A and B are shown apart, each in its own frame.
Chain A
């Protein structure tokens, strides 16, 4: 009972690994990502269990990093219709919910929005009392028309009382329906928090369906004892039942799993990680072992959000990128042959020049695949074109590395991902370039070896509360949330504390962000 399975869905391939209790790699496999995502995940899971020959009852946990929720938002497919409830009248009426959403996405979530009296000031005092009667009226109005509810109250990160009470009322009136409270999703910034809560509510449907599908196949493979986890944006995992409530936290896991995997494979806690896939290369930074997070609003599907996302710089240059000459200028990407590389690439007898062909022709990489014949690429590629294209590839990656840095000093760079072999071992801006063993499976390894945890991001008014008390409160709730997310209470530690003063406000308002992480409890 000590094995863990990790699965990570990429745009081109779905990777699966099994690791033992010391995080040693037991088995690794790769399948092509399916358009519906689910069947590819199930294929990878089935393949790794069957091929590795491990005893299914020895598997204690299965960690999935999946793109179900992100795809649902980007494709406006399988989204729940959401009753959007904002508590804050008489404030906030000048900008209703979803005003600047792309119309197709607004329609896809049902475009049902309601404003209710209530909400709080930054001091925690009420703007107005919560209008419970109106809430019940709204519930009766939307009954049968929605599959989820998103509740956002003004200054709920300071005082969530009205959101909590409203959620109770919704459950009384509508029974078992997924209810998202904005204060559990993100922080100050009403519209961005509201958007985040609506998107979370909208993907509960697709997340639950995916989780059910995963559980079924796990059962059919004999993995009855394995607990199911989903990886989340900050590089940790959450138990399936938790993920079903906060599915929006899974939308950026592809990049974070690779960063965590790079950390695990090298033991380096502060480095830049370059993850070269089939279509894109993602570059991010590890800070104290975890992906650095973005400090600006991140748009998802055309909507401004403010929940914590990894700070990733992506470029459209990767293993499958198409190389062509435009008006005498050599271009690499962003078009890509993706997983068709092994059909269309020159070295596989195809007729598309790809970034991989360039690297093969120049002899900087080799691929262990009997069908891959580098001489085919070498014979057909003009050496001058190959040299120029390779220069563009390297410069693109070096540019991305520089964009991710915060200081000019060179840093260690870790190369991972299926396409990373094409990159040189010396890069501008790198103090050293590390290409760990099993780099192609770094994403799935990151998933398999993930810890679990939670973050809280709350505003405190220090008018009636000392700073120490506020910090203590923040730490306690972060630890409690981490345990709730499945962490072993004995291993939970605070890995990050951030205090942000809110100037111009009396009473010393302060925002405190705490992240607690621990080993998963098996």
Chain B
């Protein structure tokens, strides 16, 4: 499948929805894609099924400070350089690249990388949503090694890292990122086609496309984008209401917070509370948990279905809260160890959203 300009716009909207309140703005990657397309480059998506067993797959991403990312925009050659060093080191040509996360800023950037490198992008990712840390990927939980990892900047500097494990990779990468001026472009978690079939959450780029398209088409037809979105996503409507309080505090480099929503329409006299860090993590309705991480909890403007990130939540917004099941790969003991509610500091047993909703909110 090949993406055109409209598809890219739609993917960006869908990626913001999959961000579950965090992950940053897919805007930059979207613009990189639009510019590449206008210069005759092609964004080709390839399904996991079509990927040869021995294919060499190189995920790409940007890492660093959000404020630097929106100020010192990339040259466009950095992720390519990062990819090329790994090719030289491993001695194989990259068959494709793939996003590490389907939600947020790093969802759309690999699409541009694929276009510029003239390689396809695998329709999938390592999160199925957005998460704040590099090890929170199904690549990691399925034993794909972080190293060899490469980093590049816009000036032409690059380096290859052979780290002992993810912990060391993160430590080294942080230092280099600062020296690169606050942002670095990385190629990481290389894998074969065979590994990818195990480790990748499939068809999340096309999912983002479907979600974004559903919202746009509903608006164009004058229908409710929210209903359309629920229909296409297979998600559950958790609540509709007005935000009456948002409390935030900074703890350990992360913002932790809570948004209280008072019910409207069929939810009148009910209250939903969302606990968030970078992403929305737990939703509690009148004392009962209705959804928790790693399932997706998404806050949307009730009229436009525009997703609202956690830093933009504020008093008075009329919102709809929907929940989407996460991928099965996260629902294993290994997956939950990395991204379950306990990892984020909530003493809550993970229960899949479809059981919570249909079973009437089990504790």
Contacts and interface: CB of A to CB of B under 8 A. Distances in A.
A191 B200 CA distance: 34
A19 B64 CA distance: 54
Given A88-B72, A188-B71, A94 B34 contact: no
Contacts of B34: 99-100
The main secondary structure of chain A at its interface with chain B is loop
A405 B315 contact: yes
Contacts of B74: 91-94
B154 A99 contact: no
A86 to B, nearest CB: 9
Interface in B39-76: 64-68, 70-76
Contacts of A408: 244-245, 315
B32 A95 contact: yes
A94 B112 contact: yes
A403 B72 contact: no
A95, A188, A296, A406: which has the most chain B beta carbons within 10 Å? A95
A92 B314 contact: no
Contacts of A95: 28, 31-32, 35, 73
B315 A91 contact: no
Contacts of B70: 188-191
B249 to A, nearest CB: 13
A191 B28 CA distance: 10
A91 B67 contact: no
Contacts of B67: 122, 188, 502, 505
B71 A504 contact: no
Given A90-B156, A94-B74, A94-B76, A100 B64 contact: no
- Size bracket of the A interface: 35 or more
Contacts of A88: 72-73
Nearest to B76: A94
B83 to A, nearest CB: 15
A128 B253 CA distance: 31
B312 interface: yes
A96 interface: yes
- Size bracket of the B interface: 35 or more
A191 B73 contact: yes
Given A95-B32, A505-B182, A189 B71 contact: yes
B154 A504 contact: no
A127 B155 contact: yes
B360 interface: no
B316 interface: yes
Interface string A95-139: 110011000000000000000000101110001100000000000
B287 interface: no
A123 B181 CA distance: 8
B7 to A, nearest CB: 15
A201 interface: no
B164 interface: no
Contacts of A90: 75, 77, 154-156
B182 A122 contact: yes
Given A99-B34, A191-B70, A505 B65 contact: yes
A506 interface: yes
Contacts of B71: 122, 154-155, 188-190
A227 to B, nearest CB: 38
Contact of A93 (B75, B181, B244, B253): B75
Given A91-B72, A100-B34, A502-B67, A405 B154 contact: no
B178 interface: yes
Interface string A161-203: 0000000000000000000000000001111000000000000
Contact of A502 (B32, B65, B245, B312): B65
Contact of B316 (A91, A100, A405): A405
A296 B181 contact: no
Given A404-B316, A502-B67, A99 B35 contact: yes
A259 B317 CA distance: 22
A402 interface: yes
Interface in B244-302: 244-245, 250, 253
Contacts of B242: 402
A91 B65 CA distance: 16
Interface in B181-200: 181-182
Given A127-B155, A505-B67, 20 more contacts: A88-B72, A89-B75, A90-B154, A90-B155, A91-B74, A92-B75, A93-B76, A94-B76, A96-B35, A99-B31, A100-B31, A119-B72, A121-B72, A122-B68, A123-B181, A127-B181, A155-B72, A191-B31, A406-B316, A408-B315
Report the 10 A-B pairs with minimum CB-CB distance, sorted nearest first.
A94-B76, A92-B73, A121-B181, A91-B154, A95-B31, A504-B65, A94-B74, A403-B316, A93-B75, A94-B32
Interface of A: 88-96, 99-100, 119, 121-123, 127-128, 154-155, 188-191, 296, 402-408, 502-506
21 contacts: A88-B73, A90-B75, A90-B77, A91-B73, A93-B74, A94-B31, A95-B28, A95-B31, A95-B35, A99-B34, A99-B35, A100-B31, A119-B72, A122-B65, A128-B155, A188-B70, A403-B316, A404-B316, A406-B315, A504-B182, A505-B67
